Structure 1
Amino acid sequence: MSTPPLVEARGIVKRYGPTVALQDGQLTVLPGESHALVGRNGAGKSTLVAVLTGLQVPDAGSVRFDGEPAPPLADRDAWRRKVACVYQKPTVVPDLTVAENLFVNRQPTGRGGFISWRRLRAEASEVLQTWDVRVDPDARTADLNVEDRQMVEIARALSFGARFIVLDEPTAQLDNREIERLFTRMRALQESGVTFLFISHHLQEVYEVCQTVTVLRDARWITTAPVGELPRAALVEAMAGEVLAARERAAVRDAVAPDAPVALEARGLTSPAYENVDLTVRHGEVVGLAGSSGSGKVQLAESFAGLHTPTGGSARLDGEQLVFGDVQAALRAGVGCVPRDRHEQGLVSGMSIGDNATMSVLGRLGRYGFVGTERKRGLAAQLIDRLDIHTEGPDQPVSDLSGGNAQKVVMARALASDPRLLVLINPTAGVDVKSKESLLARMDSAREDGTAVLVVSDELDDLRRCDRVLVLFHGRVVAEHAAGWHDHELIASIEGVDHGHGISPGDDPRTPGRSERGPGE
């Protein structure tokens, strides 16, 4: 007789307005196993976890625990007895002790209803001892290392009665030795009846610690298989999908001349998010930055746009020193930027389309602080036409626009200053197919005009337009792919599989050979 699932999700659908975050989410986890959930950014993993942990109600589909329907969303105590998630960002309160964190909002009380500190310490010690978490219950949580903080969060979840623990990128901030200790503890907890859902961008870890893997792609369930029966090449292909030869080839274009002048030159750039990055982008060249969510690619690109100040290294734009940490200085130097979030960073919702599109070049539209209204309207009309923004005119509120047209306004503002360097961060995120092609066409036009373009994206179609793609892994550039790369090659580099050495169909998944990481990664 087969073992009934501990957790079963079927046909999960979740929409946020017009965006379909999950179209067909499926997951079956057996008791006592470590089950991997993998997929590229945007595949639907976070949405499925939100449904499994009771943070979101699915629009369709069902979740069952031990064969019983999931608790009502409002019954948080019932959810805590079923499942808990240990996120990459700690949820413990740093200034409280370990014992206080274990029993926050449910401290044992004594006479008069006051907290019994003696019982609190005793019960905390019992929980830690039961689950072999070797941490002082009186230690301040902020003084613990990342590994021990994670174990405190796991112990807290287990103390509620939960036996299903979701680990969301648990190794992102651990070094190799800490990772080995975490995996050893996971195996010991499995033997005690704890079940894990393990989410990681590092596929070699999936093969090391998990028994089963589920793949999501494009908001849909793709496959579930025993890890030992799924070679790495097959797993990467499941994540990448079937790719037509026409899509694998880069867009037909002339190669950038090797003697084309260098626009951006960075040497030894270092910050908490990236380390010792050397980078050049020539005029008329599009260079892509790829990597997982914790790779440092976004922070690196944002540094060139003046949003961050590296702790080391330097950069020049057309031979002039680039000033970091100053957006206005970056604009004056000739950097145009499409930021990662058009709502939070890209648009002023209470202003018109014309105001949003021209706000970076107001100094060109008048003198002595006065802006010529007709000149501004004229430039705005040109940008609207150039970007094919579907609008009633420059005076229409930008808040009226669809996602695709709103993103075109952000692109219009970036291009309005005729930048020498155009930094695009997730430029086609959350837009329809037609708007996506229009935005990418503007990127191609900028390249043809001799602009240097730096593109950060999780979308392979965006990166396919690049002359080169650099892959960051834990803040370091680990691979470079020339135009014409195949999807599985790029994804293998992004996921840290052999760090650019390629994948052979005959790779043995049982010998993962985790790659080395730098200090503090």
Structure 2
Amino acid sequence: MVNTATPPVTTTPVAQATGISKRFGATVALRDAHITVMPGEAHALVGRNGAGKSTLVSILTGLQKPDAGSLAFQGEPAPAHGDINAWRSRVACVYQHSTILPELTVAENLFLHRQSPSALRPIRWKDLRRQARDLLAEYGVELDPDARARDLTVEQRQFVEIARALSFGAQFIILDEPTAKLDARGIDRLFGKLRDLQQHHVAFLFISHHLQEVYDLCSSVTVFRDARHIVTAPVAELDRDALVEAMTGEATQTSDVWSEFSSATAGRPLLSLDGLTLPGVYDDVSLTVRSGEVVGVAGSAGSGSVQLGETLAGLHRASGGATVAGRQIRTGDVPTALAAGVALVPEDRHLQGLVPGRSVTENATLSVGDQLGPFGTVLPSRSRRFAERMIKDLDIKTPDERTPVSALSGGNQQKVVIARALATDPHVLVAIRPTNGVDVKSKEFLLGRIRRIAEEDKAALIVSDELDDLRACDRVVVMFQGRITAEFDRGWSDEQLVAAIEGMAGTHERKGSDADHD
């Protein structure tokens, strides 16, 4: 459903960037880029990884100075670079990775460094809590000012960040992948709150790789590609195919992208779970995955699906049986899982999957140190050859294997994480939300690479609530409140699967292309 709310009529943009160019050495990050956001508008910014979105955000928030071009807020030139308070009063960014301090209360986070009118005056805690309560109430955020931030949900922490930005007077907020860690209900609540704030003339620049969310929330969309502005248009006038074509420069194929991947013939059981139970998380999970299969495990936050995937990789100790390639494994032990042939692509590549300051080579070979030299040593030449082979296999775009992984785009960082998982030549690959935060073309590549595992007489488990991820699977099991409640063969409809994820399917209901014709 396209958001048809009409922003307030005004001739003064809340933010306007014109002719922005930025280089980092020989790399052109932005070339004559521009964007205009009006008061009360939800404006989407989309593009493939490396298109220039992050660079534009760093310029819009004052973290970087453009080499050329101009920037204005509400018709006034942008503040001087380094004037933090002036920038905060004009723009704020809610990043995918929260900047809320977990050990502080909601009130302390809202007024961090502003707890007292003067550094010479003691903090009046009663007044601080009252101000926090008033601020939250003003924008309809129902939170206890005394609650510890560590006890908040992802969604609640985002509301605190938005309220903090508004407390500085900013009426322009950038949302960078705000739904990446939210389930369907959390996304609905977030979007509802954003629409409420639009009625207060707050404008949003919404950055997401989930294109359906652009149509659900935004009235306008700007596309960047190859460091350039490509198009700005009303969302209602740009259908999905046209939007993807603008992002990629290629016409969208109307056929199913997975049609070329025929379902591999299922062979011997590679992964068998028998009554696996993690108290308070999931209960009595039984599942068999055969060689040649890619099986999806779908579920919203709280379903236990992510923890099930992590258990297989040794991150949680559960009761019940788990067998990989005929070998009984003891859960809760990562080395045992690796030795049995289980590899993991974790949910959060930044926190769990990468060492940001280290090179592509070091990150890609973390799991195979025993193969890089004799007696525990690491031979640089062997590491380099290993990394070069993986860079070629996964088409990782990097200047060379010595480049810090933090310098790569999100899609290429995810390829490094998958390269490291595949380096162990596993029997079973467990990939948790493997395309989270990557662009359309990278998503197709990564899922295609996971499908190739099935063709190599191995198996893959894709744990995700993203429908595009699950379309790459031969079958999908759905978890709800810690139990498997439904199973779908290929041919499921979006409505069927979403209904099951939301708990509206009978226990172990089986559907799919064949079942529908019975």
In the superposition, the TM-score normalised over structure 1's length comes to 0.62
Partners of 2:317 and 2:141 in 1: CA distance: 37
Contact 1:109/1:116 (8 A) holds in 2: no
Which position in structure 1 is the counterpart of 2:338?
331
2:195 pairs with 1:165: no
Q: How does 1:88-99 map to 2 (within 5 A)?
A: 88-99=96-107
Tell me which of 56, 63, 69 is aligned to 2:71: 63
2:51 pairs with 1:30: no
Q: How does 1:286-305 map to 2 (within 5 A)?
A: 304-305=312-313
Partners of 1:19 and 1:479 in 2: CA distance: 47
Which position in structure 1 is the counterpart of 2:514?
none
Which position in structure 2 is the counterpart of 1:359?
369
Cα distance change on mapping 1:57 and 1:332 into 2, 3 Å = same
Cα distance change on mapping 1:382 and 1:296 into 2, 3 Å = farther
Contact 2:311/2:318 (8 A) holds in 1: no
Which position in structure 1 is the counterpart of 2:14?
6
Cα distance change on mapping 1:227 and 1:310 into 2, 3 Å = farther
Q: Match of 2:204, SS? A: strand
Contact 1:357/1:380 (8 A) holds in 2: no
Tell me which of 238, 242, 246 is aligned to 2:251: 242
Structure 1 residue 3 displacement after superposition: 1.6
Provide the identity percentage: 49
Cα distance change on mapping 1:194 and 1:278 into 2, 3 Å = farther
Contact 2:184/2:300 (8 A) holds in 1: no
Tell me which of 246, 265, 269 is aligned to 1:262: 269
Tell me which of 114, 118, 125 is aligned to 2:122: 114
Contact 1:288/1:456 (8 A) holds in 2: yes
Structure 1 residue 297 displacement after superposition: 9.2
Partners of 1:413 and 1:372 in 2: CA distance: 19
Partners of 2:239 and 2:138 in 1: CA distance: 37
Consecutive unaligned residues in structure 1, runs of 5 or more: 391-396, 502-512
Which position in structure 2 is the counterpart of 1:318?
325
In the superposition, the TM-score normalised over structure 2's length comes to 0.62
Instruction: Report the residue type matching 1:166 in the other structure.
Output: I
Cα distance change on mapping 1:58 and 1:348 into 2, 3 Å = closer
Contact 1:357/1:412 (8 A) holds in 2: no
Q: Match of 1:64, SS? A: strand
Which position in structure 2 is the counterpart of 1:190?
198
Q: Deviations over 1:365-423 (max 9, x none)?
A: 98xxx6799xx999989979987989xxxxxx9749999xx999999987776643456
2:189 pairs with 1:156: no
Larger radius of gyration: 1
Instruction: Report the residue type matching 1:36 in the other structure.
Output: A
Q: Match of 1:106, SS? A: coil
Q: Which has the higher contact order (CA 8 A, sep 6+)?
A: 1
- Of 89-98 and 65-74, deviating more is 89-98
Structure 1 residue 32 displacement after superposition: 1.7
Instruction: Report the residue type matching 1:78 in the other structure.
Output: A
Instruction: Report the residue type matching 2:90 in the other structure.
Output: K
2:49 pairs with 1:49: no
Cα distance change on mapping 1:211 and 1:409 into 2, 3 Å = closer
Contact 1:269/1:310 (8 A) holds in 2: no
Partners of 2:186 and 2:391 in 1: CA distance: 52
Structure 1 residue 83 displacement after superposition: 0.7
Which position in structure 2 is the counterpart of 1:104?
112
Consecutive unaligned residues in structure 2, runs of 5 or more: 1-8, 394-399, 505-518
Contact 2:106/2:146 (8 A) holds in 1: yes
Cα distance change on mapping 1:195 and 1:468 into 2, 3 Å = same
Q: Match of 1:193, SS? A: coil
Q: Match of 2:205, SS? A: strand
Contact 2:273/2:323 (8 A) holds in 1: yes
Cα distance change on mapping 1:200 and 1:451 into 2, 3 Å = closer
2:82 pairs with 1:74: yes
Contact 1:479/1:500 (8 A) holds in 2: no
Structure 1 residue 324 displacement after superposition: 3.6
Cα distance change on mapping 1:126 and 1:348 into 2, 3 Å = closer
- Count of aligned pairs: 472
Structure 1 residue 222 displacement after superposition: 4.6
Q: Match of 2:44, SS? A: strand
After superposition, the CA RMSD in angstroms is: 6.4
Structure 1 residue 455 displacement after superposition: 7.7
Cα distance change on mapping 1:114 and 1:471 into 2, 3 Å = same
Q: Match of 2:72, SS? A: strand
Structure 1 residue 30 displacement after superposition: 0.7
Cα distance change on mapping 1:285 and 1:415 into 2, 3 Å = same
Contact 2:360/2:387 (8 A) holds in 1: no
Q: Deviations over 1:461-512 (max 9, x none)?
A: 9999x78586999999999896xx9xxx9xxx9xxx75769xxxxxxxxxxx
Partners of 2:10 and 2:451 in 1: CA distance: 55
Q: Match of 1:71, SS? A: coil
Which position in structure 1 is the counterpart of 2:5?
none
Q: Deviations over 1:435-468 (max 9, x none)?
A: x99xx99995x766534456899xxx9999x785
- Of 156-165 and 172-181, deviating more is 172-181
Q: Match of 1:154, SS? A: helix
Q: Deviations over 1:327-382 (max 9, x none)?
A: 321232134568868994699879999x97963358xx98xxx6799xx9999899
Cα distance change on mapping 1:500 and 1:10 into 2, 3 Å = farther
Contact 1:21/1:219 (8 A) holds in 2: yes
Instruction: Report the residue type matching 2:251 in the other structure.
Output: E
Instruction: Report the residue type matching 2:316 in the other structure.
Output: T
Partners of 2:391 and 2:106 in 1: CA distance: 57
Structure 1 residue 104 displacement after superposition: 2.0
Partners of 1:293 and 1:22 in 2: CA distance: 37
Q: Match of 1:113, SS? A: coil
Contact 2:282/2:303 (8 A) holds in 1: no
Contact 1:447/1:453 (8 A) holds in 2: yes
Cα distance change on mapping 1:171 and 1:407 into 2, 3 Å = closer
Q: Match of 2:232, SS? A: strand
Q: How does 1:384-395 map to 2 (within 5 A)?
A: none
Partners of 1:381 and 1:326 in 2: CA distance: 30
Cα distance change on mapping 1:474 and 1:7 into 2, 3 Å = farther
